[in-house]
Amino acid sequence: MAQLRSPLLFRTPEISSEMRKKQKQEDEQEQQPWGSLPEGPLFEILSRVPYMSLCRFKCVSKPWLALCSDPDIRKRSPQTLSGFIHLSTNGVQFRNLSGKGPPMFDPYLPFLCKSYINFIPKHYCGGLVLCRCWKSCHSKNNEYNLVVCNPATEKWIELPPCTIDWPNAPEEYLGFDPAVPSRFVVFAMNLWEFIEVMIYSSDTGRWTTLQSGWIDGTFPVGHLDCVFLNGTMHLMTTEPSVATV
């Protein structure tokens, strides 16, 4: 007598194939944050979302992070400027454009006083401040630590020492793009010798020495006369001209 087999055994591959197809569709939808919505209308919608909301959307998932970081969307997203930071002879200053309420942070940066006996703000860029900090009033050869801090969050990081031996104290410049909040760079150079430039990257956590490539007689005006834009530091010189790093 022949043994009968269950019909379920013959449908198992078919069911398994359908499950794999469904799982593939779910995975594709997960990789695309907009689901079935056409890409064009979604870009138009996000371009009209307030910038702060756009920043919050980045926390949803990695696909949303990539989508909301698109340069075209960020440029068109409406932004409300409540104030801005600038440096003056009195240190860090905050200008409140709303005309009401206290500053968003203490411009005296009291959180640094817990670790350093003295500090001098040297450069500001995109919400971060670069400071020279001293742990002792009797530092050898006026040695100091470079610190990059966020006055709004009171978070800061101390950079490793810059090992290059220059005859004069270098000038340091901070480069930071708020659209990429996990990354910043610091440029260090001797204003009298432009053969080498030291660059610190938060990605690597170390300094790198590069040849400047500038012609002789190029003298930057100062650390306040510079602009960091699209990953490049632009420095005004006495020519007048613009030197870039």
Q: Are 111 and 49 in a shared domain?
A: no
Q: Are 239 and 157 in a shared domain?
A: yes
- The domain tally of the chain equals 2
Q: Are 111 and 197 in a shared domain?
A: yes
Among candidate residues 125, 115, 126, 123, the one with its CA nearest the CA of residue 158:
115
| Residue 99 located in a structural domain | no
Give me 133's structure tokens.
């900090």
Look up the domain containing 239 and give its range.
Answer: 105-244
- Domain end, chosen from 61, 76, 91, is at 76
Does 109 have pLDDT greater than 80? yes
Does 176 have pLDDT greater than 80? yes
Q: Are 206 and 118 in a shared domain?
A: yes
* Least confident range of 5-9, 60-64, 87-91, 214-218: 5-9
Q: Are 132 and 70 in a shared domain?
A: no
Greater pLDDT, 33 or 139: 139
| Residue 141 located in a structural domain | yes
Does 193 have pLDDT greater than 90? no
| Residue 199 located in a structural domain | yes
* Range from 66-70, 83-87, 101-105, 200-204 that averages highest in pLDDT: 200-204
| Residue 64 located in a structural domain | yes
Does 141 have pLDDT greater than 50? yes
The upper half-sphere exposure of residue 183, i.e. CA atoms within 13 Å in the direction of its Cβ, equals 7
| Residue 10 located in a structural domain | no
| Residue 35 located in a structural domain | yes
| Residue 215 located in a structural domain | yes
pLDDT classification of 37: cutoffs 50, 70, 90: low
Cα 79 to Cα 181: distance, rounded to the nearest angstrom = 17
Cα 41 to Cα 94: distance, rounded to the nearest angstrom = 38
For residue 151, give every residue at least 6 positions away whose Cβ sits within 8 Å of its Cβ, in sequence order, or none.
85, 92, 94, 104, 105, 106, 107, 109, 127, 129
- What number is the average pLDDT over the span 142-159? 89
pLDDT classification of 17: cutoffs 50, 70, 90: low
Does 2 have pLDDT greater than 60? no
| Residue 148 located in a structural domain | yes
